[in-house]
Amino acid sequence: MQGRWTLNEDDSLDELYKGKSPSLLPCSFFLSFLHMLSISLFRMARLLLQPRQEERRHPPSFQRLAPPQAVRSPLPFRASRWFGLVPPHALLLTMVARDKKEEELARTRGDLLETQEQLAKARMDLLRARHHLVDGQRQPTTAGAGGSRGLAGNYLLRGADGEESPLRSQSHGPMAITEVPPYRGDDQLAAAKRRRGAEESQAQGEASFRPTLCEACNVMMNTKQVMKDHFGGRKHCRAMKRLLELEGLDRRS
């Protein structure tokens, strides 16, 4: 039969393939070898790129404080499907996410710098207002070019344009060092609060005090201070104590 062939017992493979059909056996072996080699290489690369994945999934016994959780990949795909390789779309998504995070970080850094500048301006305004407040209460001393550090050690450098700067260096040229005395407003306020609290507690104690008559001395004690002076820091005065002792002796007898 023309164009068809059959396998007989006497025919060999070489005679069968010779002149009738190209042999695909070496080609299939080569493709299978390439396939297995690529799989092995991909798995080796995956093991090299992710050496601690098994440790994260199965931590040592002394680290098992909580039940182990599955490790989530940061990329939107499963690496096992790609044998450790990263597809192009995942790389693109990762690069886009990284660019967005860098932009957010730069924006946050800019906001932080603006906040620091505003804080520095507010601190300057506070120093200037405190200087003017103290200047109204007591005239500060003005030193020469060398200047002298006072108890507080706070200096304000005033230039020719009237601008002040809280620097701690000596002046040169048209600058003059003005010493600012220490601010005592907080201490005075705290002392006034303590004094007011003591007065209020004393007034409450006087209001709750009941006048007492000393039967031994026949003295009416209207205030706590009078009672304290009469008793001398003791529970009873000497006459009352003597009277109580006599009453105790009479009761015993």
Per-residue pLDDT for the chain (253 aa), expressed as one digit of tens each?
Answer: 445 555 555 555 555 555 544 555 667 778 878 888 888 888 888 777 765 555 555 555 544 444 445 445 444 445 445 445 555 666 677 788 888 888 999 999 989 999 988 998 888 888 888 777 665 554 444 444 444 444 344 444 444 445 544 444 444 444 444 555 555 666 777 787 888 887 877 776 666 667 777 777 777 777 777 777 777 767 777 777 777 776 665 555 4
- Predicted local distance difference test score (pLDDT) of residue 154: 46
Does 79 reside within a domain? no
Contact (Cβ atoms closer than 8 angstroms) between residue 84 and residue 46: yes
Whole domain around residue 140: which residue ranges? Answer: 112-186
Does 232 reside within a domain? yes
Does 54 reside within a domain? no
Task: Sort strands 164-165 and 212-214 into parallel, antiparallel or unpaired.
Answer: unpaired
Q: Please tell me whether residues 116 and 182 are part of one structural domain.
A: yes
Tokens found for residue 42:
């991909």
CB atoms within 10 A of CB 156: 19
Does 24 reside within a domain? no
Q: Please tell me whether residues 176 and 123 are part of one structural domain.
A: yes
Does 150 reside within a domain? yes
Q: Please tell me whether residues 160 and 222 are part of one structural domain.
A: no
Q: Is 75 helix (H, G, I), strand (E, B) or coil?
A: coil
d(CA 228, CA 157): 59
Contact (Cβ atoms closer than 8 angstroms) between residue 88 and residue 76: no
d(CA 63, CA 69): 13
- Predicted local distance difference test score (pLDDT) of residue 60: 52
Q: Please tell me whether residues 157 and 213 are part of one structural domain.
A: no
CA distances from 71 to 55, 58, 74, 84 (A): 10, 10, 9, 15
CA distances from 100 to 87, 105, 168, 227 (A): 20, 9, 43, 80
- Predicted local distance difference test score (pLDDT) of residue 146: 42
Handedness of CA 121, 122, 125, 126 (dihedral sign): negative
pTM score, whole prediction: 0.23
Angle, alpha carbons 230-247-223 (nearest 5°) = 20
Helix (H) or strand (E) holding 180: strand 176-180
Domain final position from 137, 153, 186? 186
Q: What is the number of domains present in the chain?
A: 2
Q: Please tell me whether residues 246 and 181 are part of one structural domain.
A: no
Quote the DSSP letter at residue 214: E
Does 45 reside within a domain? no
Q: Please tell me whether residues 167 and 228 are part of one structural domain.
A: no
Does 88 reside within a domain? no
Q: Please tell me whether residues 214 and 164 are part of one structural domain.
A: no
Contact (Cβ atoms closer than 8 angstroms) between residue 248 and residue 236: no
Does 197 reside within a domain? no
- Predicted local distance difference test score (pLDDT) of residue 52: 58
